[in-house]
Amino acid sequence: MNPLHALITEDFIIAAGAVSSATALRRYLVQCKEVQDVRNALAKGLITESTIEKFTDYLMSSFIRGQQFPYELTLAAIGVVLESWRTRFAEDYLLDLARLRKISEVHIAPLVAGLCLREWHKAPKVTKKDFVPKNRCADREPVVRSLQVNVQIIKPSVKTELQAAMRFWRLKNLSK
C-alpha cells in the first residue's frame, strides 16, 4: 500500500484535526507514524516526488471554491514530510502552500508550510561535493568541508498567492 494513502484516512484526519494551532500541528505531524512512514518511503525510494505531485493533484481534484478543503491536513502532512527533503520540488511545494494564506478554503496548512519553510531554511544544505570520498580516507568517516545556508524572506502579495494557488491546484476556474 502507498503510505500516502494513510494521510487521507478518517483516523488520521480526526487525530490531526484535534490539534488547534499550526505550531502544535507541525509538532504532532513530525512525530506522527503516518508522516514518518511517508518520509521513510521517500528516503528509500518507494515513493518519488512525482508520486507526491500526482497524489496532490488527485487531492486537489476535490477542491470546491467556497468550501473548506477536506484534505488540508493531508497537504500540511506532506509539507512536514518535505521539510527535511532538500530538493527544488520540496522548496517549491512548501513555498506554494505557504502562499495560500489568504485563500479561504485552507486555513492551517499554509501556516504549517510556513513553519516547515523556516525549518527547511535553518538546516544546512550539504551536497555530495562537500564530502571527502571514502576511498581517500578509508579509516575515517566522510568529513564535511563546508556548509551553505540558504535564507530568504518571503513577503508574497495577493497576486503572488493567487498565482501560487493556480500552480499548486492546477485549476483554471480558481479565479472565478
Mean pLDDT of 128-157: 47
DSSP class of 132: -
Poorest-confidence range of 81-85, 112-116, 119-123?
119-123
Distance CA 171, CA 64 (A): 10
Distance CA 130, CA 65 (A): 46
Classify 22 as helix, strand or coil. helix
CA atoms 72, 75, 81, 87: torsion sign: negative
pTM: 0.71
Q: Is 9 left (phi over 0), alpha (psi -120 to 50) or beta?
A: beta
Q: What are phi and psi of 16, to 5 degrees?
A: -70, -35
**Amino acid at position 141, single letter:** E
- 146 with 130: CB under 8 angstroms? yes
Convert the pLDDT of each residue in 50-89 to its tens digit.
999 999 999 999 988 899 999 999 999 999 999 989 899 9
- 131 with 143: CB under 8 angstroms? yes
- Candidates 4, 8, 5, 6; CA nearest to 42 is 4
* Count of Cβ atoms closer than 10 Å to residue 15 Cβ: 14
DSSP for 47-96, written as a single string: S-HHHHHHHHHHHHTT--TTS--TTHHHHHHHHHHHTT--SHHHHHHHHH
